[in-house]
Amino acid sequence: MTRLVLLGPPGAGKGTQAKLLSDRLGVPAISTGDIFRANVAEGTDLGRTVQEYLNAGKYVPDAVTNQMVRERLAQPDAAEGFILDGYPRTTDQVRELDDMLADVGAKLEHVLEIAADTDELVRRLAKRAVEQGRSDDTEEVIRTRQQVYAEQTAPLVEVYSDRGLLRSVDGLGDIPEVTSRLVSALGLQTA
């Protein structure tokens, strides 16, 4: 069983690595960003609310995100484990996740931080915006998201480090290199 959180600033490669680790570990990768974008694309009420926050480079309110994650973790494919990408983002969300897991008699096992230079992340996200046509990835919004991460999410590094769960890996390099570092940080054999 693997219950894992991936931390890292926007553009660090969490989504890519979550999918690769999901395949390797046999547990679902759960991305709040993907769930948000699906709701935006479908034009749901949640999607319209989310779009306003994304366009401003801000986080979606905890109440909305917490409920969405709680519902997703209750699905059968997450019973044996999961990889969370994009959640938790605040210390309040850490407490909420602790409560969600306690409700089912489970606990978080690993937290991996993907660390990367801010200027490199801005370059990555600007390139992704062009390739994917993402309106939430203008340079101004990207820099705002980096600042919000530093203020709200970076403190989670300390919380999980204090719990002895955190392993930090260098997120710069090609995708297989970073994957190999993450697999090693989990104590698994690299392929």
Active site residue ranges = 14, 89, 128, 134, 145
N- to C-terminal Cα distance for the chain?
20
Residues contributing to the annotated binding site for AMP? 32, 37, 58-60, 86-89, 93, 134, 145
Lay out the sheet containing 110-115: strands in order across. 29-31, 81-85, 2-7, 110-115, 166-170
Provide the strand spans (E) within 11-128.
29-31, 81-85, 110-115
Residues contributing to the annotated binding site for ATP? 11-16, 128, 173
**Which of 1, 31, 189, 33 shows the shortest CA–CA distance to 108?**
1
